[in-house]
A and B are shown apart, each in its own frame.
Chain A
Amino acid sequence: MLEFLTRLFSRESSPSKDIAKERLRLVLVHDRAGVSPQLLQALKSELIKVISNYMEIDEQGLEVNLDSHDNQVALIANIPIKQMKRLPENVVSGL
């Protein structure tokens, strides 16, 4: 009975097999692309460096991951911005 009740209430979240499938899908995108965590970390730090020239970003909240849809692999970056930087006119026009 207790098992039934916990089952009933836990049904609100997605079934565990869907979580398993999604985790597996993401891990395989990385495995198949041959992208190591080190490479992704390096990419992350360089992204931070470049973007920080233009805006203040939340480095802790930054997420960079590979994802795939319809056999296409995409690099998805979620970069929370704290504040835009005011750049001197000549820097912007010089780009």
Chain B
Amino acid sequence: MGEVIVVTSGKGGVGKTTTTANLGVGLAALGHKVALIDADIGLRNLDVLLGLENRIVYDLTDVTGGRCRLKQALIKDKHCEGLHLLPASQTKDKTAVSQEEMKKLCQDMAQEFEYVIIDCPAGIEQGFRNAIAGANKAIVVTTPEVAAVRDADRIIGLLEAAELRNPKLVINRFRYKMVQQKDMMSIEDIIDILAVDLLGVVPEDEQVVVSTNKGESVIQDERSRSGQAFRNIVRRIKGEAIPLMNLNQSGMLNKLRRIIGLR
């Protein structure tokens, strides 16, 4: 049986879909059989991030509604062997799927894949409840802002109420320089408030935009800092003890290293 991991955040725009895509690509790159589920029905994005938007024939609601078989709806990733996407429907709404159907779908997929990663929609309504229904692990993504951490706290409470214990936290869009200047909450501040285990910290990185533009994942960019952070997270998901990377990259020496490709 594979692991079914839901990536959630409460607040929108903190990087759930980016995180889902990168973890999927990262795990598949290490040779695992991975399926990503876009549970954001009505507003699908994960296909675009992976550059698979032109290949969609069937979607999640077609599978749960019995209009096609799971195999027909799954799209193989073009860059990454072993990675599959089950896209969301763009035309239906969240009521098109029930929690029972999601549970069944996740169970079926966990038979076939080592990792099933679900991209949860923003909010705490039915879309959220559907997305977490079949999961046995949860990753909460936040950014170092008051609103995002507040929503993360709410989500952690709801996950625990739904028996998804010990969610792991990813702090995204972290800016070391601003933390040094005491203009951004630090990792310790956030962990102290939320009282959860830290899975990883992803630095703010313009390269994410560049990769997304091209329908690629930053985790495959060997030289990008956020890519490194995601690669570390992937290895932690696999159970390896990887220390946090050095988030301070503002020094001249580091800049020079990056320019000549030494990191």
Residue positions of A touching B, CB distance < 8 A: 7, 15-18, 20-21, 23-25, 27-28, 31-32
A16 with B150: CB separation less than 8 A: no
How many residue-residue contacts, CB under 8 A, span A and B? Answer: 38
A24 with B182: CB separation less than 8 A: no
Size bin of chain B's contact surface: 10 to 19
B193 with A31: CB separation less than 8 A: no
Measured CB to CB, the nearest residue on chain B to A34 is B157
The contact of A28 among B145, B182, B183, B193, by CB within 8 Å, is B193
Chain A positions within 8 Å of B182 at CB level: 15-18
With contacts A17-B179, A31-B154, A32-B157 taken as known, whether A25 is within 8 angstroms of B193 at the C-beta atoms is yes
Main secondary structure of the interface of B (DSSP, over half): helix
Measured CB to CB, the nearest residue on chain B to A14 is B182
Within 8 A of A (CB), among B141-195: 145-146, 149-150, 153-154, 157, 179, 181-186, 189, 193
The contact of A16 among B153, B183, B186, B189, by CB within 8 Å, is B183
A32 with B153: CB separation less than 8 A: yes
The contact of B183 among A17, A23, A24, A25, by CB within 8 Å, is A17
The contact of B150 among A7, A17, A18, A24, by CB within 8 Å, is A24
Q: Can you list 23 A-B pairs with a CB-CB distance of less than 8 A?
A: A15-B181, A15-B183, A16-B182, A16-B183, A17-B179, A17-B182, A17-B184, A17-B186, A17-B189, A18-B182, A20-B145, A21-B185, A21-B193, A23-B146, A24-B146, A24-B149, A27-B146, A27-B150, A28-B150, A28-B153, A31-B150, A31-B153, A31-B154
